[in-house]
Structure 1
Amino acid sequence: MTRFVEHYALGTFDDGSGPFAGLVAGDRVLRIRPGDLTDGLPTVRDLLEDWGGVRPRLADLAPVARQEGEPLEALRILPPLEPRQIFQAGANYRSHVAEIIISGKEADDSRSEGELRAAAEQMMDERARGGSPFFFAGAVTAMSGADDDVILVPDSQQIDWEAELTVVIGRQADRVPPEDALDYVAGYTVANDISARDLQFPAEHRPLGGDWWRAKNRPTFLPVGPWIVPADVLGDYRDLEVSLYLNGQQMQQDTAANMLFDVPRLVSQASAITPLLPGDLILTGSPAGNGGKWQRWLQPGDVMETSVSGIGTLRNTCR
């Protein structure tokens, strides 16, 4: 697919001779060499380790990338970096929570869909005021690139998708207050949290809360990318649109403003659990429109296009 970066972004690429960190501007990629932004041959995570020094120099390199960079279409796009920690926020969009409550209606529940939706809104308002986000851990080994195939596992018949805006941490964050949390965000990327639903809540594990690790962390189950766009060139993250198309049909669409817990609260509360490190990822949750809603599960040959406006699109084929 054709990709284009309006401003500039950082990513990891491969020209057939091995991975390298690159600055993307327009449709070209400038290979970052020793001395361009830091000493030695850097990875993207190395650049985030010195984000305060690196960030001001990216704008100067962007015109060079547009003129001298390699054609993006000639390169394989790898996951933009290798994080040390991946935090994933569950049920963090109002539309998704309402969908879960309505679809989970018990047979003896006489409330209408409108009444269920109103009850869900009230519950979410109360949770947003005094509650906390639900986090679970992701595995680095589950990550795959923007155009990589997603390998469906034979022990699941209900594998589906979750488009997510993803936060990239740019400096160590330890118990930061929400009002300061955005200062620790280097930028944003896109992720698709692939989930085997029939493995997530098997009867034997349901009393323990389900088996999130087995359901979500298979190899290739976490496409991430195509790159990291610095936060300050994106504008207000709340205006970003998150969407997913399956074989050309829109399945998910929402804006980040409809998160139950916003990015500052996610960063703050994740940093209260353990220090966040440069390059760590926080997946911010997924809108309504998963496979359970449509009663449609991923099959070999399906093509998912996962997008966040202003950042880019992942295009992954199921095998």
Structure 2
Amino acid sequence: MNNNIVTGIDIGGSHITAALIDLHAHSIIRDSLIRHHVNSKGDTKQILKEWTDAITACKACHAGASNKIGIAMPGPFDYENGISLIKGLDKFETLYDLNVKKLLATQLKIENTDIFMMNDASCFLKGEVFGGAASNCNTAIGITLGTGLGSATYKNGIVYDGDLYYTPYKDTTAEEYLSTRWFIKRYQELTGTTPKNVKEISEQIPFNTAALKIFAEFGNNLGEVLAAYIKKHRAETVVIGGNIIKAWDLFINQTRQVLQHHALEVFVAKAALGEEAALLGAGSLCSMNAISIKSKS
């Protein structure tokens, strides 16, 4: 068994991505990368099976891989004890108050202590600081835009869990304006029809005025939310990841204009490592020499 080969996992609201990580080389073993769809609205048994199938298939790519697994998981979550606190977020509701770490260890026939879990946005930022868009900065904010809103901050060599998702914004919280469900809801309000996803809306540009309006509004919302967070953490760099950045060019100019309006001189960058950032960050949780992560915004 090679203790330098561990499994890095990135769990999202609609997928699980797994890859073997070479801790010594700080890299992903390319032929081990696996991505499976996950029904986050399924029951506990279904969700655990989908996760287990992906992890098992990934580990099968290298017979000598260790049992150590690092998981980037959306919150809220008691990461140290492995208990899900996700409730009212339209995903993984059936896992609420369950010891996910213990259940998953049982399914994989490994020890609870072989599994390390941390906020997905923290793992994402950790990876980008290590070798991506935030590699040359002293202070940074990382956010992930997808089925939910993830965030983390970096300062003095430590990555801290963020709390941006429940930050008050307009009539509710920031996540309600900066996630996939906002796009779906807003498109319904403007057109009366329901799109499948953000991609479907983006493909209608430049011919659909509603789609243009939606991305402009999103860019403005993102800028306003970021402005307050940047001031709070005095960040010099903001790195943005997640599935929604596939439409990067449709909203980022508006976001930058808002930040300029607030007189903020900050470097806003698209994630350089893509989903590999979270995988590398998660895998490095298994290493004693990793960049520290703390559950504090």
TM (norm. structure 1) is 0.26
Mark the structure with the bigger radius of gyration: 1
Structure whose residues are more often helix by fraction: 2
TM (norm. structure 2) is 0.27
